[in-house]
Amino acid sequence: MRKRSFVSKSQKYHFPSKTFQMFQLLVINVPPSSYSLLPENMRRKNKKLEGTLYLPNLTRWKMKKILSTPLQMIRSHQFSAATTAEPTKIATPMLRRDDLHSFGGHDLLGECNRRDLPIERLKSVVAWNISKLRPVLFGQAPYNPVLGETHHVSSGHINVLIEQVSHHPPVSALQATHEEENIDVMWVQHFIPKFRGAYVELEVKGKRVMKLQSRKETYDMNQPRLVIRLVPVPRADWAGKMKIKCPETDLEAELHLVSDSFIERFRGNNNRAVKGKISESSSGSKLYDIFGNWDRTISAKNLKTGEVEVIYNANESISGLKPPTVKNLKEVMESESAMVWSEVSEGILNKDWERAREAKKAVEEKQRKSLKQREVSGESLVPQHFSVVKNGKDWDCTPLQPTVPRAPLKRRDRHIFMWFSNIVLLLLHAKETGLVAEEEETRKNLVIAKPFALEDDKDSEHAASNGIRRILSLFKNVRLGSDLTNFQLPPQLNQPRSQLQCYGEMIYSFCGQDLIGECSRRDLPIERLKSVVAWNISTLRPIVFGMSPYNPVLGETHHVSHGHINVLTEQVSHHPPVSALHATHENENIDVTWCQYFTPKFRGAYVDVEVKGKRTMKLLNRKETYEMDQPRLVVRFLPAPGAHWTGKIKIKCPETDLEAELHLISDSFIERFKGNNNRSIKGKISQTSSGDKLYDISGHWDRTISAKNLKTGEVEVIYNAKESISGLRPPTVKNLKEVMESESAMVWSEVSEKILNKDWERAREAKKAVEEKQRESLKRREASGESWVPKHFSVVRNGKDWDCSPLQPTVPRAPLVITEAQEENMN
């Protein structure tokens, strides 16, 4: 039979002519380990990075076709248990997951369940987890998966299915099941690469879970970082900590991957070294020391007996790996990685770079057309195999099927000869897709940006460093002390949300305990006031420097429900901008009303935003009213850009004769010199009539707040920011027909969409259209002699002060809701 050959520097592959015809449709290609690194590869890599700014996010960085391997990134997430190009000898990371289906010899995954003792099972899980670490080829990178792309492979009793569930940002979900041992593995993986000058740092995010169903044990584990060094010696190293924890057995393991730097070598830590421990979670007692090299052997030393055993051998587990073969071509899905990238891989294997470039362009163009078609029809792509939930910047993916079926791609059971070569490490390219700065929920013609959570402060710092020059240029013609109420911002400096949404989020966006309901549940008046203090502090959210929400149009509303809490906001005045808010708690019979307006003034080195208005909380079951004022916001340009809440907050309850006073300390050099850290709070709770101080309040609003009983000296934590305002999610549309035309997400839909797509020109036009529509409505009312009447609030203006009263005693259920998954966290 005539044969066709694919030739690479390190290997030759022969395919019979009939087999080759099949491979014209389905290219199962060569692993990264088979490509030798040539000196010109280094030069191509260094040339590609020329002109790259220090510290940028490399999410949008493009990779030349000549630097691509004929191997799909979505597959590299699978090479650790069965492979379509031959897996890397000891394989490659990123979004491919060959590390789940590619192994030689021992079935490490099944071994996790076979051991009788819990400590032995954890050691097996540690060994299996280390087997996921594979060498990284320097100078080559797999393709970035298209949305909906899948990879489905079986190896022995292990079935693996992975799907690309998001393209912006790129997120892959994986499910693997072991038929014989009843093991379920679930991963969701996304990453952020950043250029640091002498190296690229790749932070791998996502959740990894292994469930031993027959043992009723769950093992949670995180992922290490990847450091790609450019100088002095090009290489890529896994680094950072890996933690594996099993709540059911009260055992955990912590592994430290030592980066391959000159400093670590000077300390005696060899390349690819691992150090760690196995301990008891509750007591912290250390049971085993873990040490070794992940590309050689890993040992565990019993600290009680001194016995040392080898728990992992890389040469036995991840050498001599083989690619899967096609068992049934008819059953291969059109979305299969090897099918999607077939023509591209064939061009790369033949070193036909022009053909490979055209084929890759065709794949990407097909994806763009599909995206446009969905946008026109108002549809969104729903993953076929996973249920996907975005939680702030984190993603959670749940398989739709309890087990993974047998796959049409099957890894051969026959073990081929072991060969162990020196693998030159690779420069992973930054993802070819964009990372959307604000993750959004889009439902037809609604665009709802996610709430600002505790973890979004990192974005704040990034915006400050990148936007300071542009921001200062806007103020070049503004005089000191000028009122900035009507100051117009370009779309580049707008967040994809209205100020009304920001106000609403302060009440309906929370995780964990229902703090507003807790205010009424406490029996003692002093305990209720402490709960009101904690809830009030929870309304303080991080401010993204250099970005501002839209100024709401007159009559704009925002209506959201979260559990028993219903929130309605309305813009009751445009000049000056005044917002009214009404929130009610159905179960605890709580009523919250806010009337909010602010005056920003330019002070040269900073902008001082004075927030005015009345805030009231009524505990109707307790017949108590709590009145509270609001802090100021200081936006500093120099010497260090940042935005900080500052000033005093006073909370007073006439019925209980109790009050609280909180002082938010500004983040200035003077305050830091005094020892007051960023976002710190100091205050007190006292009796109003006598002035006797009962409690001292101290802490940081982005960490914890404590109250010290001055009579007993007892200190208690009354607020934990991480438990309350982290991992927040946006509302979703429960009933589109009930959404009002005045809803913020409807009014600013087109503007938000263009901002999220970074289409600044269309965003500017859409924003101008919204503002022009408001001006025309104003002209019509002036011509007819009509005045605007708010729909949901009664408004009274007393000089410069405003008072807003709700027209309805309670807020009805909203068509926009926080998802049930988050409502389950409420108490």
pLDDT at 736 over 80: yes
Q: What is the pLDDT of residue 691?
A: 95
Q: What is the pLDDT of residue 119?
A: 95
> Which regions of 103-182 does DSSP assign to beta strands (E)?
141-143, 150-155, 158-167, 170-178
pLDDT at 451 over 80: no
Strands 693-700 and 680-687: antiparallel
Q: What is the pLDDT of residue 309?
A: 94
**Region 380-389 average pLDDT:** 87
Q: What is the pLDDT of residue 228?
A: 80
Which among 377, 393, 411 is the end of a domain?
A: 411
CATH number of domain containing 677: 2.40.160.120
- Which region among 347-361, 451-465, 664-678 has the lowest average model confidence (pLDDT)? 451-465
Task: Say if residue 752 is in the same domain as residue 660.
Answer: yes
User: What is the residue range of 352's domain?
Assistant: 3-188+316-411
pLDDT at 227 over 60: yes
- Quick one: three-class SS letters along 311-355? EEEHHHHCCCCCCEEECCHHHCCCCEHHHHCHHHHHHHHCCCHHH
pLDDT at 212 over 60: yes
Instruction: Name the token pair of 314.
Output: 């890389």
pLDDT at 243 over 90: yes
Query: Cα–Cα distance between 449 and 438 in angstroms, integer?
Result: 7
Query: Cα–Cα distance between 378 and 365 in angstroms, integer?
Result: 20
**Region 760-776 average pLDDT:** 90
**Mean of pLDDT over the chain:** 77
Share of the chain above pLDDT 90, in %: 37
Which amino acid, 186?
M
Task: Say if residue 14 is in the same domain as residue 155.
Answer: yes
CB neighbours of residue 796 within 10 Å: 10
Instruction: Name the token pair of 456.
Output: 């979004």
Q: What is the pLDDT of residue 349?
A: 76
Which among 350, 378, 411 is the end of a domain?
A: 411
Task: Say if residue 367 is in the same domain as residue 465.
Answer: no
User: Whose structure tokens read 């891989």?
Assistant: 345
Structural domain tally of the chain? 2
Task: Say if residue 386 is in the same domain as residue 477.
Answer: no
Inside any domain, residue 287: no
Which amino acid, 97?
R
Kindly report, residue by residue over 740-750, the tens digit of the pLDDT. 999 999 999 99
Query: Cα–Cα distance between 706 and 682 in angstroms, integer?
Result: 10
Q: What is the pLDDT of residue 194?
A: 80
- Please list, residue by residue across 434-452, b when 16 or more beta carbons sit within 10 angstroms of its beta carbon and e when fewer do: bbbbbbbbbbeebbbbbbb
Query: Cα–Cα distance between 77 and 79 in angstroms, integer?
Result: 6
Cβ contacts of residue 379 below 8 Å, gap of 6+?
A: none
- Which region among 6-20, 237-251, 708-722 has the lowest average model confidence (pLDDT)? 6-20
Inside any domain, residue 206: no
Task: Say if residue 372 is in the same domain as residue 481.
Answer: no
Inside any domain, residue 533: yes
Omega within 30 of 0 (cis) for the link into 576: yes
C-beta separation of 156 from 179 below 8 A: no
Confidence of residue 311 (pLDDT cuts 50, 70, 90): very high
Cβ contacts of residue 354 below 8 Å, gap of 6+?
A: none
| Radius of gyration of the CA atoms of the chain, in A | 30
Kindly report, residue by residue over 499-527, the tens digit of the pLDDT. 899 999 999 988 878 999 999 999 999 99
How many Cα atoms sit within 13 Å of 310 on the Cβ side? Answer: 10
pLDDT at 453 over 70: no
Q: What is the pLDDT of residue 231?
A: 66
Task: Say if residue 396 is in the same domain as residue 473.
Answer: no
pLDDT at 3 over 90: no
Query: Cα–Cα distance between 599 and 155 in angstroms, integer?
Result: 66
Task: Say if residue 773 is in the same domain as residue 640.
Answer: yes
pLDDT at 530 over 50: yes
Task: Say if residue 487 is in the same domain as residue 398.
Answer: no
Instruction: Name the token pair of 668.
Output: 């200035």
Query: Cα–Cα distance between 300 and 291 in angstroms, integer?
Result: 7
Inside any domain, residue 437: no
Whole-Å CA distances, 387 to 141, 400, 403, 750: 29, 6, 14, 27
More confident residue, 185 or 597: 185
- Please list, residue by residue across 545-554, b when 16 or more beta carbons sit within 10 angstroms of its beta carbon and e when fewer do: bbbbbbbbbb
Query: Cα–Cα distance between 415 and 782 in angstroms, integer?
Result: 84
Query: Cα–Cα distance between 753 and 243 in angstroms, integer?
Result: 38
Kindly report, residue by residue over 547-605, the tens digit of the pLDDT. 788 989 999 999 999 999 999 999 999 888 999 999 999 999 999 999 988 888 877 77
Task: Say if residue 461 is in the same domain as residue 403.
Answer: no
Query: Using CA atoms in the order 690, 692, 696, 702, what is the torsion angle rounded to 10 degrees?
Result: 0
Name the residue among 393, 374, 394, 397 with its Cα closest to residue 385: 397
Q: What is the pLDDT of residue 25?
A: 34
More confident residue, 63 or 404: 404
Which among 411, 434, 463 is the end of a domain?
A: 411
Task: Say if residue 372 is in the same domain as residue 469.
Answer: no
**Region 677-698 average pLDDT:** 93
* Neighbouring-strand partners of residue 209: 186, 220
More confident residue, 548 or 305: 305
Inside any domain, residue 288: no
Cβ contacts of residue 40 below 8 Å, gap of 6+?
A: none
Q: What is the pLDDT of residue 394?
A: 81
C-beta separation of 659 from 685 below 8 A: yes
Which helix or strand (DSSP H or E) is residue 821 part of? helix 820-823
Q: What is the pLDDT of residue 107?
A: 85
Instruction: Name the token pair of 665.
Output: 């300390």
Q: What is the DSSP secondary-structure string of 214-251?
A: TTTEEEEE---EEEEE-SSS-EEEEEEEEEEEETTTTE
pLDDT at 263 over 70: no
Inside any domain, residue 472: yes
Task: Say if residue 399 is in the same domain as residue 460.
Answer: no
How many Cα atoms sit within 13 Å of 522 on the Cβ side? Answer: 17
- Mean pLDDT comparison of 82-91, 137-146, 363-372, 657-666, highest-scoring range: 657-666
Inside any domain, residue 252: no
Which helix or strand (DSSP H or E) is residue 794 part of? strand 793-798
User: Whose structure tokens read 């934990």?
Assistant: 720
More confident residue, 261 or 337: 337
Q: What is the pLDDT of residue 760?
A: 85
Task: Say if residue 666 is in the same domain as residue 791.
Answer: yes
pLDDT at 738 over 50: yes
SS3 (DSSP) at 141:
strand
Instruction: Name the token pair of 372.
Output: 């446009």
User: Whose structure tokens read 């106000």?
Assistant: 503
Name the residue among 389, 390, 386, 382 with its Cα closest to residue 401: 386
Inside any domain, residue 536: yes
